[in-house]
Amino acid sequence: MPRPRRADRRRVLLVAFAYAPGAGSEPGLGYNMATALARRYDVTVLTDQAWPGTPPDPGPGEDLPRVIRLAPAAWPRAVDPRASQRRWELYYYTWMRSLARRLPAIVESTGAELVQHVTYGRYWMPSAADTAGRPFVWGPVGGGESASPELLRSSLAAVRYPEYFRIAVRAAFERDPALARTGRAADLALAVTPESAERMRRLTGAPVEIYPAVSLDAAELRTLGALPAPPDGPVRFLALGRLLFWKGFDMAIDAFARVRDPRASFWIIGDGPERGLLEARAAAHGLGERIRFLGRLDRAETLGRFADGHVLVHPSLHDSGGMVCLEAMAARRPVIWLEQNGPAFLCGGTGVTVPMVERERTVRGLTEAMERFADDRPWLRERGEAAARHVAAHYEVETRTDRLVAWYEALWEERAGRSAREREALRPPRAARRADRRVGSAGSEA
Contact present, 51 and 27 (Cβ < 8 Å): yes
Q: What is the pTM of this model?
A: 0.86
Least confident window among 28-32, 113-117, 419-423:
419-423
pLDDT tens sequence across 35-48 = 999 999 999 999 99
Nearest to 123 by CA among 69, 5, 44, 204: 204
pLDDT tens sequence across 7-28 = 678 999 999 999 988 656 788 8
pLDDT tens sequence across 48-103 = 987 766 666 666 666 789 999 999 888 888 888 888 888 988 999 999 999 999 99
Contact present, 317 and 338 (Cβ < 8 Å): yes
Calculate the CA 204 to chain-centre distance.
Answer: 19
Q: What is the 3-state secondary structure (H, E, C) of the chain?
A: CCCCCCCCCCEEEEEECCCCCCCCHHHHHHHHHHHHHCCCCEEEEEEECCCCCCCCCCCCCCCCCEEEEECCCCCCCCCCHHHCHHHHHHHHHHHHHHHHHHHHHHHHHHCCCEEEEEECCECCCCCCCCCCCCCEEEEEEECCCCCCHHHHHHCCHHHHHHHHHHHHHHHHHCCCHHHHHHHHHCCEEEECCHHHHHHHCCCCCCCEEECCCCCECHHHHHHHHCCCCCCCCCCEEEEECCCCHHHCHHHHHHHHCCCCCCCCEEEEEECCCCHHHHHHHHHHCCCHHHEEEEECCCHHHHHHHHHHCCEEEECCCCCCCCHHHHHHHHCCCCEEEECCCHHHHHCCCCCEEECCCCHHHHHHHHHHHHHHHHHCHHHHHHHHHHHHHHHHHHCEHHHHHHHHHHHHHHHHHHHHHHHHHHHHHHCCCHHHHHHHHHHHHHHHHC
pLDDT tens sequence across 251-288 = 999 999 999 999 999 999 999 999 999 999 999 999 99
Predicted confidence at residue 355, as pLDDT, reads: 94
Which CATH fold would you assign to the domain 11-215+410-422?
Rossmann fold (3.40.50)
Domain 11-215+410-422 matches domain 218-385 at the CATH topology level: yes
pLDDT tens sequence across 161-198 = 988 999 999 999 999 999 999 999 999 999 999 999 99
pLDDT tens sequence across 114-144 = 999 999 989 999 999 999 999 999 999 999 9
Question: Domain extents for the chain?
Answer: 11-215+410-422, 218-385
The predicted model gives 147-151 an average pLDDT of 91
For 218-385, which CATH class? alpha beta
